[in-house]
Structure 1
Amino acid sequence: MTLPDSTSHTAHDEHLEADHTSVSLAVSTVILALRRKEGQQHHSLWLPLVRRLREPYKGQWALPGGPLLPALSLEEAAGSTLKRATGLVPGYLEQLYAFGDVHRTPDYKVMREGGSLPIPAEEDTHERVVSVIYWASIPQTEVNRTRVHANIKWFPIDELPVLAFDHNEIIEYARYRLQNKVEYSRIAHSFLGEEFTLAQLREVYEAILDRPLDPANFRRQIAASKSIIDTGKRVEGTRHRPPRLYRYDHSRAFADQGPLGMYREAAYHAQNHEV
């Protein structure tokens, strides 16, 4: 048997040696919250986007994010991105996925699905970037306190423009994951304040699932989950019978809060033991 000569070079080896393309790591965050469209009564899912100030895609909207700084963990970088974009701390933060296609452009998605659009010429390509994507939620009680900036704008998730890179695809995947996760976890509570009515909780589910839910069935399902606690209080100032106020059972909920679960649990207990 003749073994391959380890000193020999193939054309493939020469190609690899000649390829000096750099690869960098970035962290971006899909930040979701409930807002109302103008003239509509019910809430829907919205997210903030930032306008790019340099090439590639200068002037287009994109997810907030940036290069991973050496001193930050992935979770810290995602939280910092959310802080810069909204000025707020997330109600929920979880790693979603890593996106690292060689050509991360809207046109390349068409190619992967069978289209005939050409791959950009080598001289037109930019540094390859692998993005670790997080998703986060902002409690409804905090949305009105979000940062206002000329290059930051909130969009309904179902009315997005064509975004830079593959960010439309990323948001589409984040929404798909959220719709699945809300069926088996208590992530819906992260869109609400500390206390809420069943109608408010149902509206969160309806906004995420993008369909109406039967109130009676929803009430039975939530009761069976034993995930919420009656506070013994009711909404004040209503004409008719005031609805009850509930809160989540925090002893069970933090297990579903992703990387920030332990941190938020400690913060919650510290806050509730203050004198």
Structure 2
Amino acid sequence: MLVAVDCIIFGFDGTDYKILLIQRGFAPEKEKWSLMGGFVQMDETLDEAAKRILNQLTGLHDVYMDQMSAFSQPLRDPIERVIAVPYVSLIDIEKYSKQINNDFHAKWFSIREIPKLIFDHGDMVELALQQLRYKAALHPILFELLPEKFTLPQLQTMYEGLYDIKLDKRNFTRKLLSSNLLHKENDKDKSSSKKGAYYYSLNEDFYTRNLSNILPIVSKSDISLAAE
């Protein structure tokens, strides 16, 4: 029996959520779209294997990773008995674009236009999105997707895209500015209007201390009211 790790890598390009997929390089399902994965080595923990596999594809270290439930259906792999442990990773697309490993024929897809994936990888992605929506409502993990500087409209678009809702701008801004997560910068993004929107950056110390704490940016009522 083998144990594999599969990395479900999400990014955000400023307007849309993306998932990073590769073309499988061997049979079965050769050249079909797949998650980036590999077998756990004898001298590795699951976390170490996931970090190694993610680094092979993106060249990135110290990336947010969250282990999901194992997938263990006996016939999930048609060749051999494999238990797979997926990991959700959140990365800044701008960092990834500079370090891409082209050996795996990797490509970003919108989460609204994900192609058919091999084996049970589609089920893994669906579970990962459910888990991400749940955790993002309680913890500020979505900031892992952002570049060093960002605007409040970009933040609102990011949260709205994850839940497919429209948030009240004033309420959302008030929650953000009272959270102590942000530093206001002196410069503005004027790409969308002459007036522009101030850039903000993440208060790294506060963020690191509170990543595991309950610090909701959106609430259940925000999601419920916006969806009605």
**For this structure pair, what is the TM-score category when the shorter chain's length is used for normalisation?**
0.7 to 0.9
Q: 1:256, 1:76 → 2: CA distance? A: 24
Which AA in structure 1 matches 2:202?
Y
Q: 2:163, 2:27 → 1: CA distance? A: 36
| Pairing partner for 2:159 from 205, 212, 219 | 205
1:191 to partner: Cα distance: 0.7
Q: 2:210, 2:127 → 1: CA distance? A: 19
Contact 1:90 1:138 in 2 (8 A): no
**Superposed CA offset, 1:108-139 (max 9, x none):** xxxxxxxxxxxxxxxxx431111111111111
Which AA in structure 1 matches 2:92?
P
Contact 1:94 1:257 in 2 (8 A): no
| Pairing partner for 2:31 from 59, 81, 89 | 59
**Superposed CA offset, 1:204-260 (max 9, x none):** 2122222332222210221233322324x12266663342222222223225668xx
Measured at CA, do residues 83 and 229 of structure 1 come closer, stay the same or move farther in structure 2, by a change above 3 Å? same
Task: Judge which range, 237-246 or 154-163, deviates more.
Answer: 237-246
Q: 1:92, 1:57 → 2: CA distance? A: 29
| Pairing partner for 1:191 from 145, 156, 160 | 145
Q: Secondary structure at the match of 2:150?
A: coil
What TM-score do the two structures reach when normalised by structure 1? Answer: 0.68
Q: 1:83, 1:167 → 2: CA distance? A: 20
Q: Does 1:87 align with 2:87?
A: no
- The residue that corresponds to 2:224 in the other structure is none
Which AA in structure 2 matches 1:224?
S
1:181 to partner: Cα distance: 1.2
**Superposed CA offset, 1:59-78 (max 9, x none):** 32111011001233322211
**Superposed CA offset, 1:2-42 (max 9, x none):** xxxxxxxxxxxxxxxxxxxxx1111111011113xxxxxx6
Q: Does 1:246 align with 2:218?
A: no
Q: 1:90, 1:214 → 2: CA distance? A: 34
Task: Judge which range, 139-148 or 171-180, deviates more.
Answer: 139-148
1:118-157 matched pairs, under 5 angstroms: 125-147=78-100, 148-149=102-103, 151-157=105-111
Measured at CA, do residues 209 and 89 of structure 1 come closer, stay the same or move farther in structure 2, by a change above 3 Å? farther
Q: Secondary structure at the match of 2:178?
A: helix
1:154-169 matched pairs, under 5 angstroms: 154-169=108-123
Q: 2:93, 2:62 → 1: CA distance? A: 11
Q: 1:150, 1:195 → 2: CA distance? A: 30
The count of residues paired between Structure 1 and Structure 2 equals: 210
Measured at CA, do residues 140 and 58 of structure 1 come closer, stay the same or move farther in structure 2, by a change above 3 Å? closer
1:151 to partner: Cα distance: 2.8
Report the aligned-residue RMSD. Answer: 2.3
What TM-score do the two structures reach when normalised by structure 2? Answer: 0.81
Higher Cα radius of gyration: 1
Q: 1:149, 1:44 → 2: CA distance? A: 25
| Pairing partner for 1:180 from 128, 134, 146 | 134
| Pairing partner for 2:124 from 170, 190, 193 | 170
Q: Secondary structure at the match of 1:171?
A: helix
- Structure 1 gap ranges (5+): 1-22, 36-41, 106-124, 259-275
**Superposed CA offset, 1:140-192 (max 9, x none):** 43243251346322222221222111000000010111111111111111111
Q: 1:96, 1:256 → 2: CA distance? A: 21
- The residue that corresponds to 2:40 in the other structure is 68
Which AA in structure 2 matches 1:205?
Y
- The residue that corresponds to 1:33 in the other structure is 11
